[in-house]
Amino acid sequence: MSTTANQALSPEGYRTEPNHDLTGWPAGVPYIIGNEACERFSFYGMRAILQVHLTALFVAQHLAEQQAKLAATQVVHLFMAGVYAFPMIGALVADRYLGKFRTIFWLSLVYCAGHAVLAVYENHLWGMYLGLALIAIGSGGIKPCVSANVGDQFGRSNQHLVRAIYQIFYFSINFGSFFATLLIPYLRSYSGEWVLGLFPSLAEGVTDPTELAQLKLRWGTSVAFGLPGVLMFLATFIFWLGRRKFVHVPPKPGGRLGLLDTVCSVSLFLAAGHLFITAELFHTLLGTYDYRYWLSLSGISIVFLALGLYLFLLRQKLAPDDGFLAITLHVLKSHLSGKKEPTASSAGVEKHELANNWFWRPGVEKFGGEATEGPVAVFKIISIFFLILFFWALFDQHSSTWISQAQQMDLWLWGEGRESFLGIPNVKLQASQVPAMNPALVMLLIPLMNLIYVWCDRFGLETTPLRRISVGMFISALSFVVTAILQTWIDNSPPQSIWFGWQLIQYVVITIAEVMVSITGLEFAYTQAPRKMKSTVMGFWLIIVTLGNVLVAILAGFKDLPMVQFFWICAGLSAVAAVLFSIRAVFYQLKNY
């Protein structure tokens, strides 16, 4: 069969394979990048004002300020847990039942509905809960599908561009988040006055200054939540426009079997995955970690596990599957029972490299070598991902402990005492604004790092994905060395006397590490994943990011130490993780799918 795109069409007329003769950029790339920039603007713009708005709502419910902040934090935490729990579900739906395009499109509409609810009912708690739930389903569900869909567009002749496209993809993410983080809080504070100026009747009869200020904030909040919704609708429209340009890899098996596979896999995932949401939710509801808490969580896990196994056995009776779970369970059963099941045909078994593997040989004998490569590849990828979670745990310190460090510094833009610099007036920043350096630096460093990669490749220093990640993890350790040295300087100086601009050094170092680890991780996950498990493997990548954030809670136990000691501990943990990853990388054999 020819591999040209024109001869691989779905019943709807969509291309199901990339054009392997194309050496340049696929036609669908601009639509993907435009979609991602708008979608990230919508998400980060909404999130920029979420905590402060929820706090105000809880205060309006007559909660004390501290209780309101705690309640808002719990809601935000549950929301983010949902955002990172749904990627695996969205990935399973895409790979097994709907395909990536339809999954992205329909969940994007759910995403838009969530923004619409927030914009219209932002002053009602039930409206916030409903809107956030819809956004968590939409945003979380499309995450692994979007990044996998990027790689689907490339064939054999232009696969050398995969590294560059994931850099451009990551650039668009930070482009959207940077401008949203700057603009949306400003709109919430000041756009209400503009709205009332355009429509004076909205403020008719309101003369009390306090009521007028509240009215301005209310309309400003509506605009601030509404604009991200407009951008999300635009993102969905851009994606729809590219439908004839994209490669639509069909789901396997699809149809009724695909639906059964999806429900089965989702049930098995939720046996543990429900903890992303229920662990915090049940603690909030019960207010304790007593036997009721653990009994409730265990009961939910047992129900999902039993349902998943039942559906799996039912599926195998209807039509035996050669997927990840079927092969893995068969191999385990063969080793535990010691029985060798007869195979329909053993032709070619001995020729496959996995036939000599003591553990996976039963899978090769029953399902064939190509099918058995699937679970083997997934377990190998997870062994790489697991070590990267230490990077994520420490990387996310830049939005917590690094802010605490900034609070001890001189936060005037050009340093206290100066009126202006190069005509730009001096203003005092908030410590929480300092991390905006990260997305700005990402956009600057991506093209620079790409030039460095090209230079290294030309001089024989091949920059394979695992080498880039290994170096990036060592660089992340260096960022905490810089942070610890700066903290020592702060501790030995008068309060607020060290200019916050010195943090730029550690932000540059950690952002270099992010570019080398995070972007490369997307490329690695896609190229190493079997074709029918692309989105699922991307889901595993996002779960690792989540587990890295969970690990932050463990590291929080060190925060009673002086901050400088805490930063040295982080540097040490980063270095150990980098060494372990480098050792694992040496023994990993790359295989491009």
Adjacent-strand bridge partners of 15: 9, 247
> 23-27, 259-263, 559-563: lowest mean pLDDT where?
559-563
Token pair recorded at residue 44: 């980060």
pLDDT digits (tens, 9 = 90+) for 405-435: 888 999 898 888 888 888 888 888 877 678 7
Tell me the CA distances in angstroms from 362 to 225, 321, 349, one per residue in order. Answer: 55, 15, 10
Distances (CA, A) of 517 to 394, 395, 439, 506: 13, 11, 15, 16
Residues 312-336 have a mean pLDDT of 86
Q: Among candidates 123, 113, 109, 112, which has minimal Cα distance to 188?
A: 123
With residue 452 as reference, give the H or E element that holds it. Answer: helix 437-458
Residue 5's pLDDT is what? 41
The answer, yes or no, to whether residue 234 has pLDDT greater than 90, is yes
Structural domains in the chain, sorted by start: 29-250 (1.20.1250.20), 324-367 (no CATH), 376-586 (1.20.1250.20)
Taking a C-beta distance cutoff of 8 angstroms, is the pair 519, 166 a contact? yes
Cα of 350 vs its chain's centroid, Å: 41
Nearest Cα neighbor of 534 from 86, 27, 152 is: 152
Residue 348 has pLDDT above 60, yes or no: no
Is 45:184 a contact under the CB 8 Å cutoff?
yes
Per-residue model confidence (pLDDT) at position 558: 58
Helix, coil or strand: residue 154: coil
What pLDDT, on a 0 to 100 scale, did the predictor assign at position 390?
80
pLDDT value at residue 132:
92
Amino acid at 555: L
Average pLDDT for residues 214-237, to the nearest whole number? 90
DSSP state of 287: S
pLDDT category of residue 342 using cuts at 50, 70 and 90: low
Tokens representing residue 454 in the block? 């090209």
Among residues of the chain, what percentage have pLDDT more than 90? 24
Contact 525, 541 (CB under 8 A): yes
d(CA 518, CA 504) in angstroms, rounded, equals 20
Q: What are the tokens at 205?
A: 């009869």
Report the distance separating Cα 289 and Cα 277, nearest Å.
15
Q: What single-letter DSSP state applies at residue 431?
A: G
Higher pLDDT, 202 or 101: 101
Q: Which of 546 and 5 is assigned the larger pLDDT? A: 546
3-state DSSP percent of the chain in helix, strand and coil, to 5: 75, 0, 20
Q: Tell the burial category of 141 from Cβ atoms under 10 Å away from its Cβ (0-12, 13-18, 19+).
A: buried
Which phi and psi angles does 421 have, rounded to 5°? -150, 125
DSSP conformation letters of 161-213: GHHHHHHHHHHHHHHHHHHHHHHHHHHHHHHHHHHHHH-GGGGTT---HHHHH
The structure tokens listed for 242 are 């590219």
Residue 424's SS3 state is strand
Half-sphere exposure of 416 (CA within 13 A, CB side): 9
List pLDDT tens digits, range 466-516.
Answer: 999 999 999 999 999 999 999 999 999 999 999 999 999 999 999 999 999
Instruction: For residues 197-202, give the mean pLDDT.
Output: 84
Between residues 26 and 286, which one has the greater pLDDT? 26
Q: What is the pLDDT of residue 242?
A: 92
Predicted confidence at residue 75, as pLDDT, reads 81
| Cis previous bond, 253, omega within 30 | yes
CA distance 408 to 410: 7
Sign of torsion over alpha carbons 306, 311, 317, 321? negative
Look at residue 453 in the predicted model and tell me its pLDDT. Answer: 87
559: pLDDT strictly greater than 70: no
> Are 128 and 121 within 8 A, CB to CB?
yes
pLDDT value, residue 580: 92
Measure the CA–CA gap between 44 and 55, rounded to whole angstroms.
18
- Determine the Cα–Cα distance for residues 178 and 41; give it in Å rounded to an integer: 8
In this structure, of 238-242, 295-299, 430-434, the range with the lowest mean pLDDT score is 430-434
Nearest to 181 by CA among 433, 365, 5, 1: 433
Of the listed ranges 154-163, 287-296, 334-343, 544-553, the least confidently predicted one is 544-553
What is residue 562's DSSP assignment? -
pTM of the model: 0.76
pLDDT above 70 covers a percentage of the chain that reads 93
pLDDT of 549: 62
Q: CA 73 to CA 58: how far, in whole Å?
A: 11
Element (H, E) at 264: helix 255-273
Q: How far apart are CA 583 and CA 161, in angstroms?
A: 28
Binned at pLDDT 50, 70 and 90, residue 3 comes out as: very low
| Furthest CA-CA distance within the chain | 87
Q: What is the mean pLDDT of the chain?
A: 84
Question: In whole angstroms, how large is the CA radius of gyration of the chain?
Answer: 26
Q: Which tokens is 262 given?
A: 């999806």
